[in-house]
Amino acid sequence: MKKLNILILLSVFTSTSLIIPKAETTVLDNIPYKNGDSDSTKKTKEVFIKINHNFNFAYKAFRYYNPEIDTQTVMQFIKVCEFYNFDTTQTIFRMLVGQILIESGSKHYKNGNVNIGGGGHIGIAQISPKSGLAIMTKLVTNNDIEVFKCLTDDTTLIKPITYSQSINWLSNKNNNLTFWGYMMNKNMKSGLVENALVKYNAGLGGYQNYVNSGNKVSNHHYITGIKNKLAKIN
């Protein structure tokens, strides 16, 4: 794992900015990391995550579009955002809240079933099982899976290797949000949240074609759509 990812992992250990309803405390423990070039797992000190305005904003936004939203879903979203440092600025955090709104209306389920969108995209983050499987196969490492286990609190988690397994894997809400975080973290390497969002929506090729055609990323329909969703919350 590169130094940047090590820093991302370490930042979780000292953070106190996560928000949890009813003053409950959540503990992130046994966070995996890579030391140098070799895989390793280190049991960290317990990290206690406290209430702040991020939870309140995310919960308010998700509930506006999905009155049935539960606090556990918001907590999982916050947990993933904290881990991948998506909460370093309010601009980044709020745009990612808006992303969940435009993708699924903050609904992992519809009418009692997993939310399946156009093209078979799955869940609260509307992830393609085909694309998800390709990313899992080509990019996700065993160390990443260990991270996923911690973020989902599922020690039995394994990497899907077939299309049907990918569907089942993404149909789990915690898996869905965790993998969304993984993908957005990859897209955020440029440091610009709007670029990362368009890559998520259009793919790297679609993003490059859009920019190479002289278009401004801020004018992309995905970005304007997110801002329109957020405008109703603010």
Per residue in 1-30, pLDDT (tens digit) is: 433 343 334 333 333 333 333 334 343 344
69 part of a folded domain: yes
Residue 172 placed within a domain: yes
Residue 31 placed within a domain: no
Q: Does the pLDDT at position 49 exceed 70?
A: no
pLDDT band at 118 (very low <50, low <70, confident <90, very high): confident
pLDDT, tens only, 168-195? 999 999 999 999 999 999 999 877 999 9
CB-based contacts of 111, cutoff 8 Å, min separation 6:
none
The CATH code of the domain that includes 122 is: 1.10.530
Question: For residue 145, is it within any domain?
Answer: yes
Q: Is residue 23 in some structural domain? A: no
Q: How many domains in the chain? A: 1
In a domain, 111, yes or no: yes
Range of the domain at 216: 53-231
| E strand or H helix at 134 | helix 129-138
**Average pLDDT in the 161-172 region?**
98
- Considering the domain boundaries, does residue 15 fall inside one? no
CB atoms within 10 A of CB 191: 8
pTM recorded for the entire structure = 0.79
